[in-house]
């Protein structure tokens, strides 16, 4: 009972950040005990614990990763490498290897690792979490300058823009805008999924891709709860990240243009069976969407802060 009360008090403090968009429906809702940091999510989507059950996934990355790690000064950053191929010894000769934390589990994704080894209480000492893929080029990226911009812009969830000339760009909003410092929205006037000035939903605005996200401490606590233990590819999670933006996702989520990266788009996890990996990823996305929909329906105390107006028919 005492623990529940402590969590409830922390929850109230958390709600103050987005209080204009939230209302407590009844005294019954006040009695709900939610994990601190998960208050902005419908209760049914929250996964409070994790497990060590391995999940099936159905080129040599050492050099690329090493170049990336060197860009992050060890005096300011802690490096944790997730080894999905079981080859930890192959990294021992790198000068920074002994200063990094190595976690190995064969054929698991970074989201599987993150759910099990980046619990918010474990990483609470750190102001930001960079959860990056291995195929990232950092020639035009400086992490200190990046974080300076993120803090100045008030970004709780962000990513470096992608160099469109050298990157595998799957979503236009991630492409670098050369004359911009930061952008938060994209425009698309033709085809499906159009985006206009009045668009308020991802992926038009308030959206980042999952290959190189950067989370504030508070945002990560929320995101961690949303990661599902069994959905290891995290497809579909990107569209809901805005609920963890500690307020207005149209302002607190953005892409940093002045510090940008290259996404090489290498087939790493899918190098042996890419078709099966993509199939499972798509299936997981449908499962996650269904879980979110059911969680929203069942949680009578949760109010969607981003519920679009009745007359808004597009993103």
Q: What are the chain's domains?
A: 62-287 (3.90.550)
State yes or no: pLDDT of 296 exceeds 90: yes
Q: Nearest to residue 265, comparing CAs of 163, 191, 119?
A: 163
Lowest mean pLDDT among 66-70, 202-206, 289-293: 66-70
Q: How many CB atoms lie within 10 A of CB 99?
A: 11
278 falls in which pLDDT band (50, 70, 90)?
confident
pLDDT of 220: 98
Average pLDDT, the chain: 85
Q: Residue 13 pLDDT more than 60?
A: no
**Which residues contact residue 157 at a Cβ distance below 8 angstroms, ignoring those fewer than 6 apart?**
208, 213, 214, 215, 216, 219, 223, 241, 242, 244, 245, 252, 253
What is residue 274's predicted lDDT score, i.e. its pLDDT? 73
Q: Which residue has the higher pLDDT, 122 or 62?
A: 122
**Contact at 8 Å (CB) between 34 and 46?**
yes
Given a cut of 60, is residue 48 above it in pLDDT? yes
- Read off the pLDDT of each residue in 173-200 and give the average, rounded to a whole number: 95
Percent of the chain whose pLDDT exceeds 70: 83
218-228 average pLDDT score: 97
Residue 193: pLDDT over 60 = yes
């Amino acid at each position: 009972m005492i623990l529940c009360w402590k969590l409830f008090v922390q929850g109230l403090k958390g709600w103050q950040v987005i209080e204009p968009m939230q209302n407590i429906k009844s005294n019954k809702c006040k009695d709900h005990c939610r994990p601190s940091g998960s208050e902005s999510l419908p209760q049914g989507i929250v996964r409070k614990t994790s497990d060590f059950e391995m999940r099936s996934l159905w080129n040599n990355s050492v050099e690329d990763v090493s170049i990336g790690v060197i860009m992050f000064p060890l005096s300011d950053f802690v490096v944790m490498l997730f080894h999905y191929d079981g080859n930890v010894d192959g990294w021992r000769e790198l000068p920074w290897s002994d200063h990094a934390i190595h976690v190995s589990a064969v054929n698991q994704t970074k989201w599987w690792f993150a759910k099990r080894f980046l619990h918010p209480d474990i990483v609470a000492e750190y102001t930001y979490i960079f959860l990056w893929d291995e195929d990232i080029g950092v020639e035009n990226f400086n992490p200190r300058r990046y974080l300076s911009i993120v803090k100045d812009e008030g970004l709780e969830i962000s990513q470096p823009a992608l160099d469109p000339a050298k990157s595998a760009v799957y979503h236009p909003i991630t492409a670098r805008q050369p004359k911009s410092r930061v952008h938060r929205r994209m425009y698309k006037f033709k085809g499906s999924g159009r985006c206009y000035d009045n668009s308020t939903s991802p992926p038009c605005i308030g959206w980042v891709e999952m290959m190189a996200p950067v989370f504030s401490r508070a945002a990560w606590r929320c995101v961690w709860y949303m990661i599902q233990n069994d959905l290891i590819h995290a497809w579909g999670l990107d569209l809901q990240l805005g609920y963890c933006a500690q307020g207005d996702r149209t302002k607190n989520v953005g892409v940093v243009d002045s510090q940008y990266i290259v996404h090489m788009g290498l087939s790493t996890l899918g190098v042996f069976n890419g078709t099966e990996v993509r199939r499972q990823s798509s299936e997981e996305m449908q499962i996650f969407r269904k879980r979110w929909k059911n969680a929203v329906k069942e949680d009578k105390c949760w109010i969607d802060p981003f519920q679009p107006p009745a007359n808004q028919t597009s993103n």
